[in-house]
Amino acid sequence: MYAPIWAWSNWASYRILLIVFLVSPLRGGWRRLGPFICHSSLVLPFLEFISVPVPNPIPMAYLRMNPQPVKTSNSLFNLLPKRSSLRPARVRCSSSSSPTRHYAITLLPGDGIGPEVVSVAKKVLQRAGSVEGIHFDFQEMPMGGAALDLTGVPLPKETLEAARSSDAVLLGAIGGYKWDKNEKHVKPETGLLQLREGLKVFANLRPASVLPQLVDASTLKKEVAEGVDLMVVRELTGGIYFGKPRGFSTNDNGEEIGFNTEVYASHEIDRIARVAFETARKRRGKLCSVDKANVLEASMLWRRRVTEIALEYPDIELTHMYVDNASMQLVRFPKQFDVIVTNNIFGDILSDEASMITGSIGMLPSASLGENGPGLFEPIHGSAPDIAGQDKANPLATILSAAMLLKYGLGEQDAAERIETAVLNTLDRGFRTGDIYSDGNIMVGCTEMGEQVLRAVDSEAVAVSR
């Protein structure tokens, strides 16, 4: 019985398009997706996809046994447990007398509060690196509005080249009032989409943890929010945001319609599923795959492929959940989740919902990973033009993104944990920026918060347990 399904799914992976017609009354709800679906350059991978055979995905087992001779090591390797001796070394140059590991990091400060938070995170990376025997070569490049002002484009090719040839990329944020009315191709946000596409980062990892120190910042009851520690793994380069056909038309009644296509090829599902299983393996070993397999064919294929990939991970407990139920469970009993894996559109919505459980946008990091090449690490917040240049920004989301860069981008678990512990220690000592301030704590600005984290990185106090 499996053979025909398997054959069908292969065939489907090249050609089948599942068309979801979104009639005009629904269009307003899709406006927020605009930045993801508007840029013409995003069409290219899709055209490639439908016009040439997609090579069989390289199984993770093969990757483990046959490290690819790429300039930068495979991001997926860095999701392997630290104990794995097959994990490739990311050491680009080292002398036999020195344990120092060297990495090239591209910094993209961007706009608004971006330069403020990136400058702080850079110092924290440097300090944690020096304690752990890591040396970073930083290269700062323009991106977003800053690049528009300088070069006329939101992502200069030099910036993309620098990013591609580095070991990891740390981005602040892009955008601002100044460029809001620009045409689409010269908007800062277009540069961000081009960067994600250029780096081929298909897996977006967004942790949402309620820190004990900030549990009161959550809008959920304390007993519901306390102890929440989950990770949403979102497919980032496929699905309805990229699927064709799409557009506006007229139906048989002469009424205007808008339509988009939800489409997934099996290799796209397999590779995101493997990232999610590997992530779960590094955490508590539980994976919940979220889909709408009771209605959508693309979700049926999704569920079938995730179930198949699960055979490679007998140590991981896999469950499936429909997206409507998942959105309820996230606010009812979020502690049940460890890792959630889902498609592009469900992930967009659920990761925002999950992040709000923590109560503060200034605290949340993210990582976007591809099969090869450097990962992209950035806070989930934007450029916050309302507080830019006032030393009011919370730098912790960017500092925690730097920790993700170490953990998921470079496989430097110890340095990552040093930073995470330093952040907790700083909060334990009562330091708060305005966005997370509550009575009885010490209000500080962006720079001072960074100084306090640096102190904690250095200090014995990093031994404070979570």
Ligand X SMILES: NC(=O)c1ccc[n+]([C@@H]2O[C@H](COP(=O)([O-])OP(=O)(O)OC[C@H]3O[C@@H](n4cnc5c(N)ncnc54)[C@H](O)[C@@H]3O)[C@@H](O)[C@H]2O)c1
The single-letter code of the amino acid at 414 is: D
Question: Which of 160, 361 has the CB closer to ligand X?
Answer: 361
Give the dihedral sign, CA 77/80/84/90. positive
| Active-site choice (187, 292, 392, 407) | 292
Interface with ligand X includes 175 (CB under 6 A)? Answer: yes
| The pairing of beta strand 365-369 with beta strand 203-209 | antiparallel
Total residues contacting ligand X (rule CB under 6 A)?
21
Residue with Cβ nearer ligand X (63 or 380): 380
Angle between helix 188-198 and 157-164 (nearest 10):
40
Q: Which stretch binds ligand X (CB under 6 A): 14-22, 92-100, 212-220, 384-392?
A: 384-392
Among 50, 5, 39, residue whose Cα is nearest residue 268: 50
Identify which of residues 397 and 410 has a Cβ nearer to ligand X in the complex. 397
Q: Rule CB under 6 A: choose which of 134, 269, 361, 419 binds ligand X.
A: 361
- DSSP class of residue 88? P
Contact present, 78 and 411 (Cβ < 8 Å): yes
Q: Does 383 bind ligand X (CB under 6 A)?
A: yes
**Beta carbons of 289 and 308 less than 8 angstroms apart:** no
Min. distance of Cβ 23 from ligand X in angstroms? 28
Please say which residue, 111 or 291, places its beta carbon nearer to ligand X. Answer: 111
Greatest C-alpha distance within the chain: 77
C-alpha of 306 from chain center: 20
Residue 416 near residue 426 (C-beta atoms within 8 A): no
- Determine which residue in the list 169, 393, 410, 422 makes contact with ligand X, applying CB under 6 A: 393
Start-to-end CA distance of the chain, whole Å, equals 49
Judged by CB under 6 A, the residue of 143, 163, 173, 340 near ligand X is 173
Q: Which of 111, 291, 348, 435 is catalytic?
A: 348
Query: Which window, 26-34, 60-68, 311-319, 381-389, contacts ligand X (CB under 6 A)?
Result: 381-389
Does 156 bind ligand X (CB under 6 A)? Our answer is no
189 makes contact with ligand X (CB under 6 A)? yes
Report the residue from 342, 394, 421, 452 that binds ligand X according to the rule CB under 6 A.
394
Q: Which stretches within 265-310 are classed as H helix?
A: 266-282, 297-309
Told to check if 381 binds ligand X by CB under 6 A, we report: yes
Q: What is the rounded CA–CA span in Å between residue 326 and residue 290?
A: 7
Alpha helices (H) along 20-103: 34-37, 43-51, 60-65
Q: 348 catalytic, yes or no?
A: yes
- Judged by CB, which is closer to ligand X: 266, or 351? 351
Q: How far is the CB of 145 from ligand X (least distance, A)?
A: 8
Query: Residue 154 or residue 175: which is nearer to ligand X going by CB?
Result: 175
Q: Is 384 in the site for ligand X (CB under 6 A)?
A: yes
Q: Where are the beta strands (DSSP E) in 90-189?
A: 101-110, 134-140, 168-173
Instruction: Report, in Å, the least distance between residue 119 CB and ligand X.
Output: 13
Tell which one of 142, 156, 362, 365 touches ligand X (CB under 6 A): 362
Which residues in 66-125 contact ligand X (CB under 6 A)?
A: 113
Q: Which of 386, 390, 459, 466 is the binder for ligand X (CB under 6 A)?
A: 386
C-alpha distances in Å from residue 49, one per residue of 165, 243, 386: 25, 11, 41
Single out the segment in contact with ligand X by CB under 6 A; choices: 46-54, 92-100, 155-163, 380-388.
380-388
User: Given CA atoms 338, 343, 344, 350 in this order, what sign does their dihedral have?
Assistant: negative
C-beta of 321 vs 397, nearer to ligand X = 397
- Catalytic (active site) residue 14: no
DSSP 310: G
Nearer to ligand X, 120 or 273 (CB): 120
Alpha-carbon distances, residue 234 vs 76, 109, 269, 275, 346 (angstroms): 15, 24, 11, 10, 8
Q: β-pairing, 134-140 with 101-110? A: parallel
Question: Is residue 359 at the binding interface for ligand X, with CB under 6 A as the rule?
Answer: no
Burial class (CB in 10 A: 0-12, 13-18, 19+), 255: exposed
Residue 382 in contact with ligand X, rule: CB under 6 A: yes
The two structure tokens encoding residue 2:
């499996």
Q: Is 292 a catalytic residue?
A: yes
178, 335, 352, 414: the active-site residue: 352
Q: Which of the stretches 54-62, 101-109, 167-175, 215-223 binds ligand X when contact is defined by CB under 6 A?
A: 167-175
List of residues contacting ligand X (CB under 6 A): 113, 173-176, 189, 192, 361-362, 378, 381-387, 393-394, 397, 435
Active site residues: 241, 292, 324, 348, 352
